[in-house]
Amino acid sequence: MKFIKWLTNIDRRIIFLLMIGAVLVPMLFTIPVPFEVGEPVQNAFNAIDSLKPGSVIMLSVDYDATSYPECQPMIVAITDHAFRKDLRIILLGHIPTGLPLGQEALERAATEYNQSHKAEYRQAVKHAGEELKRHTAGYQGSLKSAAAEFDQEYTPRHQETLDGLVSDYLEKVDSAAVKFQKHTFEYWEAVKYAGEEFNRHASEYQKRLEGGVREKNPGYVRILERAAAEYDKHVTEYQEDLGHAADQYLKRYGIDFVNLGYRPGVVAIIVGMGREIRDFYRKDYQNINVDSLHMMADVHNYDDIATLVSFAHGTAVESWIAYAGARFGQQIIGGVTGVVAPDLYPYLQSGQLAGLLGGLKGASEYESLIKKKGLASRGMPAQSTAHILVILLIVIGSMAEFALDISKRRET
Amino acid sequence: MKRTLPLIITFLAGVFVVVTFFIPREPFGSLEQRMLVWASILGGFTLLLGIDSLIKHHGRKLARREKDWFYSLVTLLGLFGTLAAGIVTWAKYGTPLELASLNEVGGFFWVYKWVMVPLQGTMFALLAFFIASAAYRAFRARTFDATLLLIAAILVMIGRLSMGVIPATLVLAVLLVAAGIHRLLIRKPVFGAILAVLGVGLGALVLAFPQDAIRLAPQVQEWLMSVPQTAARRGILIGVTLGTIAMSIRIILGIERTYISST
Amino acid sequence: MVLACLLSVIFTQPVATMQAEAIQTVALRPVANLDATDTPNDAGQSIDISWELSPDSARIRRYEVYRAESTEGPFEKIVEFLIPTTSYTDADTLLRNKKDYYYRVDVVGKLESRASSKIAGPAIAKPQWFNRNRLAVLVFALIYGGLVILYIEFAKRDRGMFVRRIAGLDAIDEAVGRSTEMGKPILFSFGIGYLTDVATLAALSILRRVAKRAAQYETRILVPNYDPIVMTAAQETVKQAFSEAGRPDLYRESDITFLTADQFGYAAGVDGIMLREKPGTVFLQGVFYAEALILAETAHSVGAIQIAGTNMATQLPFFIAACDYTLIGEELFAASAYLDRDPQLLGSLKSEDMAKIITVAIIAVVSIVGTVGAILASVSGKNEILLSIGEFVNDLFETLKGFLTTS
């Protein structure tokens, strides 16, 4: 009986300990949990999955750190999905303290994408390097044969030409390296490699030339120059190949994603962007001019944006729907906390929202659709065990009270 | 005069804003927006008042070495430290809200990321523990209302489970049967019989059609949330809104005077 | 052979000309019924333009809208559409100059063939004095305002106006007494509201009552604050209450402090105060968000009784589950009327109830009309009478809905 009495009044500290266990254990031992994906999330996924590569999507960070557990997995999953589909991302937000979180998600997605495509990128770069090597050999070959044909003497003029070509080449390579920024550390390696190779070939050739080639015939000079021009072309091709490899296998800031930062004034901005984004965002979050960002060249207003996703823990999604959706026909997807989600169901039903991710459950459903388990999927079993614990506590408490009540009445 | 002047200002401002709501013509149409901007500017200055109070209070505790003076020191260090971080970032980038300061030690957003975010997250996480202890304490099936509340709460929780739906529903069924027996024993046969039958029925259905139960559970939860809950919430909202209007009318007309020091 | 050649020569030329004429004669037809009027209910800088599509829509590549200050022109193009459109709102700030403007819509087809509509105008963008869309709000405001004044008059005459018991407010004196007996202080929190929130104002009147009792029983009262303005209002209120109770010497300004303007920072601060000072009674009155449950549970853990009151519908369930007494929504607003029994305040309370009844009646009537209309529409079939009743009911519903919804 004392036990039953104790059950009606369990010390809250024991309850807290049980709760810690209920949340930690499933997170430490990841339990695969099958569940069905709801329609709102499926619609959101389809909306993004059906976009053509190169389409632009806009992500709006309208939550802050307090909603990190629910909203961050959503933005992480969607940026992953977007990069996978080769979509271009514009990030902005109406809550200044939430933007660092959005930036974090974007950088992380880009880094992961680059890491996972590192092998292919390296392969493409190596291939481009081999092409260049082949052409280098060809250049050397034609110089050698010309020298042999004209039985020329080696003069300082040849030295100048060769030097000129070498420094020219290195200059081009350097400028290309500056163009591709920090995400392409492999590029530096490749460039270094190509440069070393060229130097090696050039110095070998120099030595051979020194061994007795004389200039006697202007035709020889012409051949030299023509071969040099050929080589120039191959160097340019090499750089283009590197560029294409980067385009294909790397996600770089300014080219595949931009962060426009925070501007105050929610409704004014949402409405104003229907005309021209640059009216409000002339510089990005690092104060770089928006027009110098490659990606923004053909993006001016909602007509150029395929889909907009608003991650919110308040009423931001309704603002987007009312001003961007209703007035400019912009397609909107919502990614909101569990508390706010029910308020948005009417918009789903009326078609004003193309999809909705609600709470941790919505985030984990999306993660299962993109087949990449993240924080949300790890958290869902924990959410379930916590729920089950609360249900058990309530039931035990009630039943113990029944027993107590009956025994009390029996005594009287 | 000290008493009536605030009342006059309140009356004029209140009537003015209400009237401009109906007049789209300039300058009235954009007046509401403008006044909101004024309000937020004023609000910014009032923060100085609060900081003054804070510094005085904790400064005094520190100076007099009162009980727990060390925590006052921590508070003041936190206040001035964050202020310093903001000023440094401002000097460097022209705005304290500079995202690049996220990665610099001592930058404003760095302080935010490594101090504010974890602390806020921790406080928010406390809710998980508190909801467990509050629910355990409060949801006892003592009366008819409480039993209804209990059943609704458990049904909503079951609807949000991603695993263990069947065992949880069985637990609910057992509770219903136990409640039914309890009621029968305390001479409330009708209520008891209903609960017991519900419990047995629920248990039987769930065991007989487990797949359907798993599929239906989220839908039951959604119905509960979108129909009865929304209806009740809207009712409260209407009541609160009408109360707010009445209160506002009282303030504008000067009948409600609690916000002025003298009644 | 020769004839064939002759014939071919004769017939090639005219056919070519006929083909050229064919391209020219089947001209595009322009849009019809172009109409330009002032946009209603605005600040006077937009004109609505509308038209009907041309029957040749399939051949039209784009629509261009032109504007000029007179019928002779010069017309300048202000916008163009690539998809079939039938309206446009010209919201150029230029229109503020109150001049007449004329509009024309051109359709452009293949090979830049063009057809212009008739010119519409003159149209002036005028500001309106009254926003008709908000008429329902004005009517309701006038009715409500009238009710308030009416019931205040009633209350002045009828001294014993009935107000039902509100448990949370009745328990205030008892709660303060309990704290005194235990020798513990009272804690009062406004939550995270500002002085502009009516809930905070209502809470101030409860604070006054609580502070007065506290002064009478010589119990300490702690008021940690989220907003500096609310803090100053609270300081004034408590000082006043202590003076009225005849104990101004007991007032300690250091008990009414500003903690921080951050939601969870405030919750942490109040929790700390509760755990250190161990109050006997905790009042949670005002505007609360997620920190509501944190405050309530911590209060319970130190053995305090809690009296909560808020208008935030999302936090009410937590308060009801965790606190001993909860003032729900407008029960909080009724506090000052209930505690003081001032006839003017009581009167406005009654008018609230009356307005609620009217609102419920309107909702019920419109819902029933809409439901009946929907049922009739789906069931009427071929029955003429039912059909026309159904149509009438649906029209009535739409009118009511249009009147009651505002923009």
**Residues A300, A215 within the same domain:** no
- At C140, the amino acid letter reads F
Which of A249, A279, A314 is the last residue before a domain boundary?
A249
Any idea what the CATH number is for the domain that residue A76 is in?
3.40.50
**Residues A317, A232 within the same domain:** no
How many domains would you assign to chain A?
2
Write the CA distances from A218 to A145, A146, A152, B175, integer angstroms.
Answer: 15, 12, 10, 104
**Residues A338, A259 within the same domain:** yes
At A77-111, the pLDDT tens digits run 999 999 999 999 999 999 888 888 899 899 889 88
pLDDT at A328 > cutoff 90: no
Nearest alpha carbon to residue B209 among B217, B219, B199: B217
Measured distance CA(B119)–CA(B105) in Å, rounded = 18
- Which C-chain residues 335-354 have CB contacts (< 8 A) with chain B? 336, 344-345, 348-349, 351-352
Contact B117 A68 (CB under 8 A): yes
**Residues A188, A209 within the same domain:** yes
Q: Domain C32-123 class? A: mainly beta
Instruction: Please indicate, yes or no, if residue A237 is contained in any of the structural domains.
Output: yes
> Do the beta carbons of residue A360 and residue A379 sit within 8 Å?
yes
Q: What is the pLDDT of residue A78?
A: 96
**Residues A100, A123 within the same domain:** no
> Do the beta carbons of residue C285 and residue C203 sit within 8 Å?
yes
**Residues A202, A273 within the same domain:** no
pLDDT at C252 > cutoff 60: yes
H-helix segments, A35-184? 39-49, 68-84, 99-116, 118-150, 156-179
Which of A249, A282, A298 is the last residue before a domain boundary?
A249
Q: What is the pLDDT of residue A213?
A: 42
- At C68, the amino acid letter reads A
The pair of three-digit structure tokens given for residue C327, joined into one six-digit string: 């003032």
Please give the CATH architecture assigned to the domain spanning C167-333.
3-Layer(aba) Sandwich (3.40)
Task: List, in sequence order, every beta strand (DSSP E) within C136-196.
Answer: 186-191
Measured distance CA(C193)–CA(C209) in Å, rounded = 20
Interface ipTM above 0.90: no
Burial class (CB in 10 A: 0-12, 13-18, 19+), B77: exposed
- Which C-chain residues 223-262 have CB contacts (< 8 A) with chain B? 225, 227-229, 231-233, 236-237, 239-240, 254, 257-262
Residue A125: domain span:
118-249
Instruction: Please indicate, yes or no, if residue A6 is contained in any of the structural domains.
Output: no
Measured distance CA(C405)–CA(C331) in Å, rounded = 28
**Residues A151, A198 within the same domain:** yes
Instruction: Please indicate, yes or no, if residue A409 is contained in any of the structural domains.
Output: no
- Alpha carbon C191 to its chain centroid, in Å, reads 23
Residue C80 host element (H or E): strand C76-81
At C115-138, the pLDDT tens digits run 888 888 788 888 888 887 788 888
How big is the CA angle at C146 (ends C141 and C149), to the nearest 5 degrees?
Answer: 125
Residue A332 host element (H or E): strand A332-336
Question: What 3 state SS string does C346-377 have?
Answer: HHHHHHHHHHHHHHHHHHHHHHHHHHHHHHHH
Search chain C and give the residue with CA nearest A66. Answer: C264
**Residues A350, A270 within the same domain:** yes
**C275 at B interface, C-beta within 8 A:** no
**Residues A161, A210 within the same domain:** yes
> Do the beta carbons of residue A102 and residue A61 sit within 8 Å?
yes
Search chain B and give the residue with CA nearest A262. Answer: B97
Q: What is the pLDDT of residue B121?
A: 83
- Which B-chain residues 117-176 have CB contacts (< 8 A) with chain C? 119-120, 123-124, 126-127, 130-131, 133-135, 137-139
Instruction: Please indicate, yes or no, if residue A8 is contained in any of the structural domains.
Output: no
How big is the CA angle at A377 (ends A376 and A378), to the nearest 5 degrees?
Answer: 90
Q: What is the pLDDT of residue A203?
A: 60
A136-150: average pLDDT: 63
Q: What is the pLDDT of residue A197?
A: 59
Portion of chain C with pLDDT greater than 90, in percent? 32
Q: Which chains touch C (3 or more CB pairs under 8 A)?
A: A, B
Measured distance CA(C391)–CA(C376) in Å, rounded = 9
CA B195, B196, B197, B199 torsion-angle sign? positive
Nearest alpha carbon to residue A394 among B228, C293, B155, C320: B155
Measured distance CA(B138)–CA(B123) in Å, rounded = 22
Nearest alpha carbon to residue B143 among B108, B188, B104: B188
**Residues A170, A230 within the same domain:** yes
Instruction: Please indicate, yes or no, if residue A384 is contained in any of the structural domains.
Output: no
Nearest alpha carbon to residue C252 among B60, B43, B262: B60
Measured distance CA(C77)–CA(C94) in Å, rounded = 14
Instruction: Please indicate, yes or no, if residue A105 is contained in any of the structural domains.
Output: yes
- Alpha carbon A16 to its chain centroid, in Å, reads 39
**Residues A122, A245 within the same domain:** yes
Instruction: Please indicate, yes or no, if residue A411 is contained in any of the structural domains.
Output: no
pLDDT at A249 > cutoff 70: yes
**Residues A123, A110 within the same domain:** no
Portion of chain C with pLDDT greater than 70, in percent? 91
Write the CA distances from B55 to B52, B66, B67, B220, C252, integer angstroms.
Answer: 5, 15, 17, 53, 17
Residues of chain A found within 8 Å of residue C192, distances taken between Cβ atoms: none
Contact A339 C314 (CB under 8 A): yes
Instruction: Please indicate, yes or no, if residue A379 is contained in any of the structural domains.
Output: no
A355-370: average pLDDT: 91
Query: Three-state SS for C309?
Result: strand
